[in-house]
Amino acid sequence: MLIQAVDSPDMAEGATAFLEKRRPAFPRPDEPRAARRGAEPPRGTIMTSLDGKRMLITGAGRGMGREIAVEAARQGAEFVAVADIDAAAAEEAAAAVEAAGAKARPIETDLSDSAQVRRMVELAVAGAGGLDTLVNNAGVLDHTIQEGATYETLTEEAWDKVYAVNVKAVWLAAKYAAPHLKASDRGPSVVNASSVAGLTGYGLPAYTSSKGAVIQLTRSLAVSLAPEVRCNAYCPGSIETPMSQAHLAAAEDREATLRSMTGAHLIPRFGTTGEIAKAVCFLASDAASFITGVALPVDGGTMAWRGLR
Residues assigned a catalytic role: 207
Q: What is the rounded distance in angstroms from the CA atom of residue 82 to the CA atom of residue 66?
A: 8
Q: Is 74 exposed, middle or buried (0-12, 13-18, 19+ CB in 10 A)?
A: middle
Which residues touch 306 (CB under 8 Å, ≥6 apart)? none
Question: Which is nearest to 303 in space by CA: 207, 203, 222, 202?
Answer: 202
* Residue whose C-alpha is closest to residue 217's, from 182, 159, 148, 170: 170
**What gap in Å lies between CA 208 and CA 198, rounded to an integer?**
6
Calpha distance 122→305 (Å, rounded): 43
Cis check: omega of the bond before 227, within 30 degrees of 0: yes
Q: Which of 297, 30, 1, 281 has the alpha carbon at shortest distance from 133?
A: 281
Q: What are the CA-CA distances from residue 14 to residues 2, 9, 166, 240 (Å)?
A: 16, 9, 43, 52
For residue 249, give every residue at least 6 positions away whose Cβ sits within 8 Å of its Cβ, in sequence order, or none: none
- Residue 158 near residue 145 (C-beta atoms within 8 A): yes
